[in-house]
Every structure is written in C-alpha cells, then in structure tokens.
C-alpha cells in the first residue's frame, strides 16, 4: 500500500507516513491505533512486538466466545482442545 493511500485512511499526508516508516518521528498512541485499525493489524504487530498477524475473523470469534456464559465457554474450549490435540497427533503420525 502506498504512503498516500495509508495517509488518506488515517487523515494525514503520505509524507507523514513516510516519516513514521523512516523512524524520523514516532506517531502518537492515537495515530498508531488508527494506523493499526486502517491496516487491519494489531497494534502489537504494527510496532513489531509480534510477528503473528492475527486474523480478524478469529479475533471476532474469540471475543464472541468470551461473551458466553462460563459453562458454555468451558464447553467450547473443551471441544477446541480436543480438536487441537487430535490435529497435533495426526501430524506426528
């Protein structure tokens, strides 16, 4: 994505994005948050604290699971744990 395109998404000139990229200036936390949202990445990913790019759909599902009643959440996690264990075992065999 071009600097001008990113700049338009967050309401700044593309040259400002270039200054952020070259680390000439640091964005405010508000601007960094806007950039992360515009680029559909986590703030941790944007600042380099993680190299894991979280899928937006997975994050939405996790948030939905977190809203469930405790008992329902336990069932979802038990099912997920069983599936993940089975998948790991199959990859070993």
Domains and CATH numbers, the chain: 3-47 (1.10.260.40), 56-91 (no CATH)
The pTM (predicted TM-score) of the whole model is 0.65
Whether the per-residue pLDDT at 52 is higher than 90: the answer is no
- 67 alpha carbon, distance to own chain's centre: 19
pLDDT band at residue 87 under the 50/70/90 scheme:
very high
Look up residue 69 and give its DSSP letter.
Answer: -
pLDDT band at residue 55 under the 50/70/90 scheme:
confident
Nearest CA-CA partner of 7 in 30, 29, 39: 39
pLDDT value at position 75? Answer: 97
| CB burial string 11-26: b at 16+ within 10 A, e below | ebeeebbeebeeeeee
More confident residue, 58 or 24: 24
More confident residue, 56 or 22: 22
Kindly report the average pLDDT of the chain as a whole number.
93
Q: With contact defined as beta carbons under 8 Å apart, do 14 and 4 qualify?
A: yes
């Amino acid at each position: 994505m071009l600097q001008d395109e990113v700049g338009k998404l967050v309401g700044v000139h593309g040259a400002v994005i270039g200054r952020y990229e070259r680390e000439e200036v640091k964005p405010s936390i508000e601007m960094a948050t806007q950039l992360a949202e515009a680029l559909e990445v986590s703030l941790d990913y944007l600042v380099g604290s993680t190299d894991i790019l979280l899928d937006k759909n997975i994050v939405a599902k996790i948030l939905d699971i977190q809203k469930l009643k405790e008992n329902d959440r336990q069932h979802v996690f038990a099912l997920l744990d069983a599936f993940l264990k089975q998948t790991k075992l199959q990859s070993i065999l």
